[in-house]
C-alpha cells in the first residue's frame, strides 16, 4: 500500500526567521488537509500532519508528501519540500500560492497542482505511483461542487484544537464581482460564482459534530437566494457560524434578519476605502461610503460581530487616507479592522502599467517582504475597543470564548454581557408575553 503524508505548512515566526511558527492549539479545524485526504484514492495509507501544531517526521516512511501552501506559508513549504526531496520522497504541492506562482513552486516540487484539486489530486497520486508524474496539473473545467466527499476529520489529532472546535466547511467558490485589486477569480478558475447544494453542506455540518462553523467562501452571499436557503437550513442545526460577505448585503433587512436567526456570529467584510472615488476606481462602487454607518448599525443592532478590511495604496489614494480612515473607525466605533497595503501580485491582471512598473521598481512583490495576501501584502490587525466600559472589561466583540448562559453556545462578548444570546433572549421574551 503506497504511503502518503499530507501537510499544511505553517509560516516562519517573523520575516527573516527560519523558526516555524508553532501553535499549541489551532482555533479553526481547517478544511484543506482532511479534504485532500478524502480526495485521495482510498488504497493509500494517509497521515495528516499540521505543521503549525505538530512536528513533521522527515524520516517517516512515506512515498509521497503532499504540501498545501499559501503565500504566507510558502517559504516554510519549500523547506519541507526540499527536506523530503533530499531523501528521495516525491513531493506534490498545491494551494493558493502554487496556483499563483506555479513556476516558482515547481523548483521545489516534483509536481504542482494549479487551482482546484478535484479529480486532479487522485490523478497525480496515480501518476506518482506509476512513475509518470508530470510537472504541472490543472483542470480545464470548473470542479463540480455537488457530491464533494466528506473531509477525513477522523485523521486529525483532535487534541490540537481549541475545545469549541469551529470547523471550516466549504460552501462556495468565486465571486460575482470583479474588484480590480482582488485575485479571487484566479484562485480556483474564472468560473463565476459556484456553491454547494444546501443539503450537502448541512450534512457535512452534522457529520463534523461541531456547533461552530466557519464557511470557506470569499463571498457567502454571492447568490442571495441560495445563501438564504442555506441559512434556513442552519436554524434547526442550532450552530453559530462565521463567514465573509460584501458589506452592502448588510443593507438587506430580510437577509440580515435570517442571518441573525440562523446564528451568524461574525462576518468579515471588505469595506476597502473611505473614499468613494477610490472605490469606484477599484470597480467596487457598490460599496457606498454614505451607507457605512447604516450597515454597521444593522450588524450591531442584531448583535452580530464583524471585522472590516481596508486596502491602501491604490492609484486614487493620497497620504491623507490613513488619518481619515482611523477617524472613520473611531466614528463607527468599529470592532475590528484589517488594514492591508496593496502590493504587486502575480494574480493581478487589472493593475495599471504605471502601478506595475512602480511596484517592480520598488520590489513591492511578495518576496519584497510584503508576503501575505493575495490582494495585498501585509495586514495590520487592529482590534479596537472604543468605549471605556469595554476597555475596562477587556472585552472585544470578536472574542469567541464566551458562552450563552442558557443554550451554552459560543457567542460574542456583547451578548455575554447580557448573560444570554440574542436568540435565547428573543425566545424568553416571546414566552413571557404569551
Which residues bind to ligand SF4, rule: CB under 6 A?
A: 175, 177-179, 182, 184, 218-219, 246, 270
**Whole-angstrom Cα distance, residue 336 to residue 225?**
28
What x-and-dash track marks residues 196-215 binding ligand B12 by CB under 6 A? --------------------
For residue 168, the partner it binds in ligand SF4, ligand B12, none, with Cβ less than 5 to 8 A by kind, is ligand B12
For residue 34, the partner it binds in ligand SF4, ligand B12, none, with Cβ less than 5 to 8 A by kind, is none
**Whole-angstrom Cα distance, residue 112 to residue 69?**
11
Residues 6+ apart with CB under 8 A from 112: 92, 93, 94, 98, 102, 105, 106, 135, 136, 137
Between β-strands 194-195 and 172-173, what pairing exists: parallel, antiparallel or unpaired? antiparallel
For residue 94, the partner it binds in ligand B12, ligand SF4, none, with Cβ less than 5 to 8 A by kind, is ligand B12
Is the CB of 375 or the CB of 404 nearer to ligand SF4?
375
What x-and-dash track marks residues 17-56 binding ligand B12 by CB under 6 A? ---------x-x-xxx--xx--------------------
H or E element, residue 170: strand 167-170
- 364 exposed, middle or buried (CB, 10 Å; 0-12, 13-18, 19+)? buried
Least spacing, CB of residue 119 vs ligand B12, in Å: 10
For ligand B12, the binding residue among 4, 5, 7, 11 (CB under 6 A) is 11
Tally of CB atoms within 10 A around 18 = 9
With both helix axes pointing from N to C terminus, report the angle between 120-129 and 32-39 in degrees, rounded to the nearest 10.
Answer: 60
**Whole-angstrom Cα distance, residue 138 to residue 145?**
17
Sheet of 167-170, strand order: 167-170, 212-216, 240-244, 264-272, 305-312, 336-341, 379-383
Least spacing, CB of residue 419 vs ligand B12, in Å: 29
Q: Does 325 bind ligand B12 (CB under 6 A)?
A: no
Total residues in contact with ligand B12, by rule CB under 6 A: 39
Stretch that binds ligand B12, among 12-20, 118-126, 205-213, 384-392 (CB under 6 A): 118-126
**Whole-angstrom Cα distance, residue 312 to residue 321?**
8
Cell numbers placing 3: 504511503
Would you give the end-to-end CA distance of the chain in angstroms? 64
Is the CB of 187 or the CB of 404 nearer to ligand SF4?
187
For ligand B12, the binding residue among 40, 221, 264, 372 (CB under 6 A) is 372
Alpha-carbon radius of gyration of the chain: 22
For residue 175, the partner it binds in ligand B12, ligand SF4, none, with Cβ less than 5 to 8 A by kind, is ligand SF4
Q: Does 336 bind ligand B12 (CB under 6 A)?
A: no
For residue 177, the partner it binds in ligand B12, ligand SF4, none, with Cβ less than 5 to 8 A by kind, is ligand SF4
For ligand B12, the binding residue among 51, 116, 204, 317 (CB under 6 A) is 116
DSSP states of 185-245 as a string? HHHS-S---EE--HHHHHHHHHHH--SEEEEE-S-TTSSHHHHHHHHHHHGGGT-EEEEE-
Q: Are 142 and 194 in contact (CB under 8 A)?
A: yes
Q: Does 95 bind ligand B12 (CB under 6 A)?
A: yes
For residue 32, the partner it binds in ligand SF4, ligand B12, none, with Cβ less than 5 to 8 A by kind, is ligand B12
Q: Does 179 bind ligand B12 (CB under 6 A)?
A: no
Least spacing, CB of residue 186 vs ligand SF4, in Å: 11
Could you list the residues that contact ligand B12 (CB under 6 A)? 11, 26, 28, 30-32, 35-36, 66, 68, 70-73, 92-97, 99-100, 113, 116-118, 121, 124, 168, 170, 184, 187, 216, 218, 372-375, 379
Amino acid at each position: 500500500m503506497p504511503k502518503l503524508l499530507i501537510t499544511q505548512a505553517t509560516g516562519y515566526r517573523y520575516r527573516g526567521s527560519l523558526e516555524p511558527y508553532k501553535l499549541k492549539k489551532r482555533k479553526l479545524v481547517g478544511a484543506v488537509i482532511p479534504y485532500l485526504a478524502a480526495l485521495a484514492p482510498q488504497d493509500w495509507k494517509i497521515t495528516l500532519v499540521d505543521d503549525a501544531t505538530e512536528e513533521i517526521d522527515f524520516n517517516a516512511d512515506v512515498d509521497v508528501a503532499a504540501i498545501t501552501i499559501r503565500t504566507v506559508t510558502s517559504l516554510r513549504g519549500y523547506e519541507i519540500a526540499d527536506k523530503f526531496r533530499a531523501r528521495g520522497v516525491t513531493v506534490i504541492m498545491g494551494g493558493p500560492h502554487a496556483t499563483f506562482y506555479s513556476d516558482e513552486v515547481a523548483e521545489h516540487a516534483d509536481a504542482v497542482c494549479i487551482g482546484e484539486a478535484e479529480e486532479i489530486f487522485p490523478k497525480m497520486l496515480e501518476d506518482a505511483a506509476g512513475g509518470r508524474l508530470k510537472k504541472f496539473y490543472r483542470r480545464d473545467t470548473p470542479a463540480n461542487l455537488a457530491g464533494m466527499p466528506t473531509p477525513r476529520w477522523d485523521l486529525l489529532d483532535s487534541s490540537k484544537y481549541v475545545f469549541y472546535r469551529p470547523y471550516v466547511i466549504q460552501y462556495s467558490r468565486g465571486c460575482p464581482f470583479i474588484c480590480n485589486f482582488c485575485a479571487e477569480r484566479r484562485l480556483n478558475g474564472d468560473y463565476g460564482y459556484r456553491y454547494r447544494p444546501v443539503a450537502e453542506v448541512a450534512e457535512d455540518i452534522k457529520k463534523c459534530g461541531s456547533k461552530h462553523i466557519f464557511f470557506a467562501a470569499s463571498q457567502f452571499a454571492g447568490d442571495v437566494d441560495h445563501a438564504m436557503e442555506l441559512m434556513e437550513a442552519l436554524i434547526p442545526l442550532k450552530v453559530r457560524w462565521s463567514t465573509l460577505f460584501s458589506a452592502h448585503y448588510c443593507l438587506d433587512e430580510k437577509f440580515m434578519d435570517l442571518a441573525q436567526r440562523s446564528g451568524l456570529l461574525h462576518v468579515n467584510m471588505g469595506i476597502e476605502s473611505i473614499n468613494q472615488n477610490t472605490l469606484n476606481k477599484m470597480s467596487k462602487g457598490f460599496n457606498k461610503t454614505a451607507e457605512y454607518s447604516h450597515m454597521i448599525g444593522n450588524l450591531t443592532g442584531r448583535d452580530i460581530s464583524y471585522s472590516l478590511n481596508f486596502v491602501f495604496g491604490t492609484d486614487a489614494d493620497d497620504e491623507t487616507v490613513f488619518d481619515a480612515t482611523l477617524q472613520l473607525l473611531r466614528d463607527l466605533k468599529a470592532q475590528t479592522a484589517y488594514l492591508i497595503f496593496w502590493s504587486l501580485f502575480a494574480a493581478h491582471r487589472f493593475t495599471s502599467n504605471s502601478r506595475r512598473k512602480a511596484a517592480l521598481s520598488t520590489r513591492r512583490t511578495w518576496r519584497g517582504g510584503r508576503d501575505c495576501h493575495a490582494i495585498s501584502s501585509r495586514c495590520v490587525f487592529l482590534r479596537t475597543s472604543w468605549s471605556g466600559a469595554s476597555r475596562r472589561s477587556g472585552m472585544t466583540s470578536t472574542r469567541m470564548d464566551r458562552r450563552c448562559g442558557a443554550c451554552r453556545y459560543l457567542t460574542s462578548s456583547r451578548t455575554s454581557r447580557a448573560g444570554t444570546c440574542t436568540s435565547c433572549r428573543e425566545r424568553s421574551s416571546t414566552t413571557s408575553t404569551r
